[in-house]
Amino acid sequence: MEEARKKEILDKLAEAVVEFEEDMAREWAQTALDEGMEAFEAIMQGLAAGMETVGDLYDQQEYFVPELLMSADALYAGLDILKPHIREEDVKKMGQVVIGTVQGDVHDIGKNIIKLMFEVGGFEVHDLGRDVPLEKFVEEQLKTDAEIVAMSAMMTTTMTGMKKVIAMIKEKNPNVAIMLGGAPVTQDVADLFGADGYAASAGNAVQEAIKMISNLRKLQGKA
C-alpha cells in the first residue's frame, strides 16, 4: 500500500473517533482490511491515535464526558471490525493488569478507555469495575499474579484510598508495579503515595505500563 493511501486511511479512522462517527469508523476499518492493511496497525495508528486526540481535547476542556462516550462508541465500532483480524504475532503478550476505580468512586469512563487501550496493547486485563473495595485490588493481584495494578479516582476524597492499597500490595508483593490515574491525580501525588507510574492519558497509560513491566522484568532478572 502506498504511504499516502495508508496515511489517508489512518487519518480517517482517527477522525471518525474524534468526530463520533460510528458509520465512518466501520467503513474505514473495512477499507483498511480490504486494502491489505494490518488490523493491529489500523487500531493502534488509527483508532487509538484518535482516542489520544480526544483525551487531549478532554484535558483542554473542549470535550466533556458526553463527547468521550460518543468517541468511545466510534472506537468500538471500528474495533468490532478490526479486532477479529489481529494476528497473534502482531501483539506481544505484555503481561497482566488488574484495573478498577477505587471505593467510593463510580466514575469509570476514563478507566474503561484505559482498559481498552491495555487490551489493544496486548495485556490480559482483570477489570474489577468501579467503586472497588480497597482489599479487592490486593486479593485480585494475589489471585492472578498480575504484574501491574492500575487504579483510577476522579475525586480527591476517594483518591486517598489508593495510598492504602499501595501499602497493602507492596507489603505482600513488592514486585508489583502500581499505576495511578484520574483527574485529581498528579505525578506528585503518585510519588507521595509510593506508586510506580502515573498515567496522564489513556495512550500514555499503555506506554507507562510497558515501561513498568520492562523494569520489573529487569529487576527479576528476566530481561
Structure pTM? 0.71
Give, in order, the Cα–Cα distances in Å from 67 to each of 63, 64, 72: 6, 5, 8
Q: Residue 150 has which C-alpha cell?
A: 492500575
pLDDT digits 0-9 by tens, 10-48: 999 999 999 999 999 999 999 999 999 999 889 888 998
Q: Residue 195 has which C-alpha cell?
A: 506508586
Q: In the prediction, which pLDDT does 223 show? A: 43
User: Nearest to residue 193, comparing CAs of 172, 169, 217, 173?
Assistant: 169
Buried/exposed 36-63: b ≥16 CB within 10 Å, e otherwise? ebbbbbbbbbbbbbbbbbbbebbeeeeb
CATH topology of domain 92-219: Rossmann fold (3.40.50)
User: Nearest to residue 116, comparing CAs of 105, 107, 127?
Assistant: 127
Q: What CATH number labels 3-89?
A: 1.10.1240.10
Break the chain into its structural domains and give their ranges. 3-89, 92-219
Q: CA geometry: angle at 18 spanning 12 and 20, to 5°?
A: 95
User: Contact at 8 Å (CB) between 72 and 25?
Assistant: no
User: Contact at 8 Å (CB) between 93 and 142?
Assistant: no
Q: How many CA atoms lie within 13 A of 104 on its CB side?
A: 11
Give, in order, the Cα–Cα distances in Å from 156 to each of 105, 120, 121, 160: 10, 30, 29, 7
pLDDT digits 0-9 by tens, 151-184: 998 888 888 999 999 999 999 999 999 999 887 8
